Structure 1
Amino acid sequence: MNAIPEPTTEEIAKTSASSRRRLIGIDAARGLALVGLMAIHLLPAWNDETGEPTWSWQLFSGDSAALFALLAGVGLALTSGGQNPHKGKKMTADRVGLIVRALLIAIVGLWIGTLMPQDPPAFSILIYYSVFFLLAIPFLHMGPKALFLSAALFGIVSPVLMQNLLGILPAWSSYNPTFTEVLTEPGATASQLLLTGTYPALPYMTYLLVGLGIGRLNLRKTAVQVRVLVVGAGLMIFAYATSSVLLYAFGGYQRLLEASWMSEYELNEVLIWGPDSLPTTTGWWLAITTPHTNTPLAIATSLGVSLAVLGVFLLIAPKIGKWLLPLSAMGAMTFTLYTVHLVGLSPEVHYGQPSLWFAVHLIVAAAFAIVWQRSLGQGPLEKVVSTSVKGTRRLILGDPSKNATDSGENTK
């Protein structure tokens, strides 16, 4: 699971102190997502004695990446006008700036791919993130209702496409694509990034577009924050309940057994850990909620969790914002921290003492983020992206004063 650059609330909320405190919740939620990715990458997924999933797997698997994508959408909305989307040249500048942002993220993501071994300790989301941003460009001007409807279409249609095209699309050769693979295997890389990879862009557009729609609402209103929390919790419960009814009341579980030729033990394992890729033997596989299967109900589950987390942080940030500093500081520079985290994983020295290395990554990330933010503001990579985007906007708008709404970047 992984993280990415999007606009930070420190850059977005330059109005009243009250606004800044409330928007700290967005960065804090993003910081929690980063913690979740670190936990998934470093801590064991199962208990060696019992074989059961560990707390880190149960809490963060699939949901951390979904939360990053959701918050990326929120950030894009806030930097393109918030409740009043930009129009005309400003919107053109937003779109071109988004292309620049996506290209810079892709460069870093592909470079990370060159550092990772063939059997990597982590699957980077950065290159996928760049595709998310490119796909978001046509939706950037829309209002909440159109965005939520578009998200629903992606969440339903993309998994069906993914399952039905799996036997047709080319197989991909690397968990973390590199510059070489983009040039030598463009078709396989494209299909991986869009449909068959770890964080396929078409299903993940559900999270990003919902986030974009939420960012078009007044997130400083308590009623909106409560609504985000309640809708998220309700969606999560609905998805789990629907999956259970389909599998165990309507015979879906038995259909999966018959179509897969698995034993009950093997099928139960797949329902916990997920298959290597979504099986094409029967459409009943679309009824499962296993993390990273990207079925409609799996997407709905992770989306519900992500919305609930965001709602909680938006509600508590005005009251306990100072106590959220470690999370919000990390969340304000996740592009930098996530990149450094992946570089630190690439030598594969962490396998012997996973808990120790998790603590090291977490403490170093929090300490660095707090010190850097207090002394220099934006994170290093965030600053590079922010400066590049601002320069692009100046070329389009021609008046530096019109760039005030543009801000920097921040990661998954």
Structure 2
Amino acid sequence: MMATHLLPTFESNADLTPTWIGLTFSGRAAALFAVLAGVGLALSTGKDKPLEGAELSAARRGVALRALVIAAVGFTLGGLEVNVAIILVHYAVLFLCILPFLGLGAKRLWAWAAGWILASPLLAYLLRPWLLAPEPPLKLGHNPGWEDLGTPARLLADVFLTGYYPVLQWLSYLLVGLAIGRLVLAKALVPVLLVAGGTVVAVAAKTLGVAAMEDWGGRAALEKVLNSPGYPLGSVLQVNLTGIPQEGSWWWLASAAPHSGTPLDLLHTSGVAAAVIGACLLLGRLAEWVDLDLLLPLRGAGAMTLTLYTVHVWVVSGFYLKPLPGGWTEDGMYFVQAATAITVGIVFARLQWRGPLEWAAHAASLVGRGGFKAVP
């Protein structure tokens, strides 16, 4: 996510040739972030044996209060001037939307995930034009902030359908993550299946999407709908479809473009996320075999992503519409922030500390579960 925020995804504004950063990480990084949220929720609510009864109710209350902390952080960051689409308010709403599914086992979750991936983009395609028809349209056009609570209809429409990370479709990622977390991850075959299955799904979805656009006439049909001669739709379809009005043609639903929220996009990015998770599990097995903590750089930063993400957005906002300090480049800014995040994560992991915002979210969760106590 830092790479897509700090490094160019196109070669230049004049020549919109995708960079390797855009081709590799755009859409996939944010999706992995959401899928991992689902995995984390599964691990905290019974792993492969979901909680039941009073324990499940307590866990749901804990998740709901944790979501409120995340939302508060997101609304606060929404007041910053920054060229980053901040995900935290949407993330918090996703936590609330996933509550009814926390008691389900893996098989039912996979079925729900498959159905949601197929149906939610169709529903979004039908509802978006209706929400964008009023004047002004029910779309914020900026990151949600505290002031947007004064226009709840527009805020909810934006968060669920018309904004950067439409919750209606993005719930698919949490369902996939929850289903992965409900597997018996300690079994030797599970990581292999995640890598193999995720790769097959990802490749098949992307191949089908590219064929639909380039070989079956999809891109030509969409260019006619856009009615903008010379618009580099081919490049945009490879990197980021955010901001493009996906209406006027059913061909939009055949794309696998990053941030398009179509069935093929959701399938591709979910498959990539599953494969990455499986690869990390295999790396963890290797670490146990050689008796080295190979995952410490990832594990440390991964345990305090809310804090690191918040600091990252705040730092990026400090350079918004301003030149970089003398001698600094975009590459340098990225490597400094990434290295700092990894270093801080390692230190906190070694000292067994929670990040400050993680502590607040964990405390809220304990209050919801009815067992608050001071934690390090």
Q: TM-score w.r.t. structure 1 length? A: 0.82
**Pairwise CA RMSD of aligned residues?**
2.1
Question: Is the 1:73–1:212 Cα contact (8 Å) retained in structure 2?
Answer: yes
Residue among 267, 270, 280 paired with 2:236: 270
Match of 2:5 in 1: 41
How many positions carry a matched residue from both structures? 359
The 1:351/1:226 distance shift into structure 2, 3 A limit, reads farther
Question: Is the 2:138–2:153 Cα contact (8 Å) retained in structure 1?
Answer: no
Question: Which region of structure 1 is more displaced relative to structure 2, 141-150 or 122-131?
Answer: 141-150
Q: Distance in 2 between matches of 1:269 and 1:58?
A: 10
Residue among 354, 372, 382 paired with 2:330: 354
The 1:269/1:319 distance shift into structure 2, 3 A limit, reads closer
Residue among 289, 293, 302 paired with 1:322: 293
**Residue 151 (1) aligns with residue 123 (2):** no
Identity over aligned residues, as a percent? 37
**Residue 285 (1) aligns with residue 252 (2):** yes
Residue among 333, 341, 344 paired with 2:315: 344
Equivalent positions of 1:3-402 (< 5 A) are: 37-48=1-12, 51-114=16-79, 116-117=80-81, 120-169=82-131, 170-182=137-149, 184-263=150-229, 266-272=232-238, 273-274=240-241, 276-320=243-287, 322-348=293-319, 352=324, 353-394=329-370
Question: Is the 1:113–1:176 Cα contact (8 Å) retained in structure 2?
Answer: yes
Match of 1:25 in 2: none
**Deviation at 1:112?**
0.6
| Amino acid in the other structure paired with 1:391 | V
Question: Is the 2:283–2:294 Cα contact (8 Å) retained in structure 1?
Answer: no
- Cα deviation per residue 1:191-248 (whole Å; 9 max; x = unaligned)? 1111111111111111110110111111111201111111110111110222233334
Question: Is the 2:75–2:144 Cα contact (8 Å) retained in structure 1?
Answer: yes
Q: Show structure 2 runs of 5+ residues with no match.
A: 132-136
Which SS does the other structure have where 2:293 is aligned? helix
Q: Distance in 2 between matches of 1:346 and 1:40?
A: 15
Question: Is the 2:307–2:357 Cα contact (8 Å) retained in structure 1?
Answer: yes
Q: Distance in 2 between matches of 1:112 and 1:231?
A: 37
- Cα deviation per residue 1:339-385 (whole Å; 9 max; x = unaligned)? 11111111226753211211221122111111122124221111121
- Cα deviation per residue 1:231-281 (whole Å; 9 max; x = unaligned)? 110111110222233334433333323333344763323323425234211
The 1:174/1:243 distance shift into structure 2, 3 A limit, reads closer
Q: Distance in 2 between matches of 1:262 and 1:231?
A: 39
Which SS does the other structure have where 2:129 is aligned? coil
Question: Is the 1:110–1:177 Cα contact (8 Å) retained in structure 2?
Answer: yes
Q: TM-score w.r.t. structure 2 length? A: 0.90
Question: Is the 2:201–2:268 Cα contact (8 Å) retained in structure 1?
Answer: yes
